[in-house]
Amino acid sequence: MYTTEMSKNPTQLGPSAAEPPELIEAFEARVANDEFIEPKDWMPEAYRKTLIRQISQHAHSEIVGMLPEGNWITRAPSLRRKAVLLAKVQDEGGHGLYLYSAAETLGTSRDDMIDALHSGKAKYSTIFNYPTLNWADIGAIGWLVDGAAIMNQVPLQRTSYGPYARAMVRVCKEESFHQRQGFEIMMQMAAGTPEQKAMAQDAMDRWWWPALMMFGPPDENSPNTAQSVRWRIKRETNDELRQKFVDVTVPQAQAIGLTVPDPDLKWDEARGHYDYGAIDWDEFWAVVKGEGPVAKERMKARTEAWEKGAWVREAAMAHAAKQAARRQKEAANG
């Protein structure tokens, strides 16, 4: 999802011929040995590029992810829910910032990443191109979307790039409340009036499949997975993580009386896992290309916020420059 290959024709990863083989070998050995790579260490260009893409994509997802939920802060059904949602959305903003900082240690700049997002060059998780139609969607997002995100992010706490791994430790610590508050909303609605329960089920029906798609294309269509796993940029494959998510989430749905919208879903005793139905990958690729129901709205909200904030950023810089000049003058005269 956040961390998955999101360009349909990804460039093949691999060391470049121009790089000294002894450096590559030493690097590969360190990574294979589960050592962390730190910003100033030598690393293959392809490793650096893959990380910049993955971490910035992840950061963009956190930032764009604030939009569908931020949308509901003013309409939360109680003060408690409002305070909780506000805290969650603020956390997501924080996650974006930790991740942008981690990417910057690889030599990219904040401005370049934000440009790439706003120009459409950079991708973000497809999940945020679906609309949040009613309050139950906030429950479904916390439970399913943050749940899938956690599944993805937990192994990344041991990813080979130090700053990314440290950001993930912090993110994971904060995520678990996100999932719980969403589950709590769903649990309460599912136990409420028939109308409330129907809303919860409807939200489940709409978010289940997009949540499964968050793990990215199936392994056989994910050409760089092997290299990414070898470099410890990814620690588990898309399908492994997706299966884990299904296995833990289905019993949760059953426990609160909601139905998983998949007629093919059944427990496979031999595998010790749930079998699940086919995922509509055409829909996924359409959403990746920006054809999600609200893709344009999301980018419009993002760029507008950025542009409207420009004068604040510029004024703050001008103020800082003026203060610095004043201090310098005082020091000279003092």
Partner 1 sequence: MANEKKEWPLWEVFIRAKNGLSHRHAGSVHAPDADIALRHARDTYTRRMEGVSIWVIRSSDIAASDPADAGPIFEPAESKVYRHPTFYVVPDHIKHI
Residues forming the site for partner 1 (CB under 8 A):
38, 40-42, 87, 90-91, 94, 97-98, 101, 104, 109-112, 115, 166-167, 170, 174, 313-314, 316-317, 319-320, 323-324
231, interface contact from partner 1, Fe ion, none, CB < 5-8 Å by kind: none
Min CB(95)–partner 1 separation in Å: 10
Spatial CA neighbour of 136 closest among 74, 198, 46, 211:
198
110, interface contact from partner 1, Fe ion, none, CB < 5-8 Å by kind: partner 1
Token look-up 């305070």 returns 83
Min CB(93)–partner 1 separation in Å: 8
Residue 148 has φ and ψ, to the nearest 5°, of -65, -40
Measure the CA–CA gap between 179 and 75, rounded to whole angstroms: 20
Nearer to partner 1, 109 or 254 (CB): 109
Measure the CA–CA gap between 274 and 148, rounded to whole angstroms: 16
Min CB(119)–partner 1 separation in Å: 8
178, interface contact from partner 1, Fe ion, none, CB < 5-8 Å by kind: Fe ion
Measure the CA–CA gap between 144 and 139, rounded to whole angstroms: 8
Nearer to partner 1, 226 or 324 (CB): 324
288, interface contact from partner 1, Fe ion, none, CB < 5-8 Å by kind: none
Spatial CA neighbour of 15 closest among 53, 44, 52:
44
Measure the CA–CA gap between 227 and 202, rounded to whole angstroms: 39
Provide the 3-class DSSP secondary structure of residue 275.
strand
209, interface contact from partner 1, Fe ion, none, CB < 5-8 Å by kind: none
Residue 121: CB partners within 8 Å, gap ≥ 6? 115
Q: Give alpha helix (H) positions in the chain.
A: 21-32, 45-64, 66-70, 79-104, 110-118, 135-140, 146-153, 162-190, 194-213, 225-230, 238-255, 281-286, 295-308, 310-333
Nearer to partner 1, 26 or 226 (CB): 26
Min CB(170)–partner 1 separation in Å: 8
Q: Which helix (H) or strand (E) holds 268?
A: strand 266-268
Nearer to partner 1, 42 or 281 (CB): 42
Min CB(174)–partner 1 separation in Å: 8
Min CB(63)–partner 1 separation in Å: 13
Nearer to Fe ion, 137 or 146 (CB): 146
Compute the half-sphere exposure of residue 322: CA atoms within 13 Å on the CB side of its CA: 6
317, interface contact from Fe ion, partner 1, none, CB < 5-8 Å by kind: partner 1
Nearer to partner 1, 26 or 255 (CB): 26
**Binding stretches for Fe ion (CB under 5 A):** 62, 92, 95, 146, 175, 178
Min CB(56)–partner 1 separation in Å: 14
Nearer to partner 1, 34 or 195 (CB): 34
Query: Tokens at residue 184, please?
Result: 């709590």
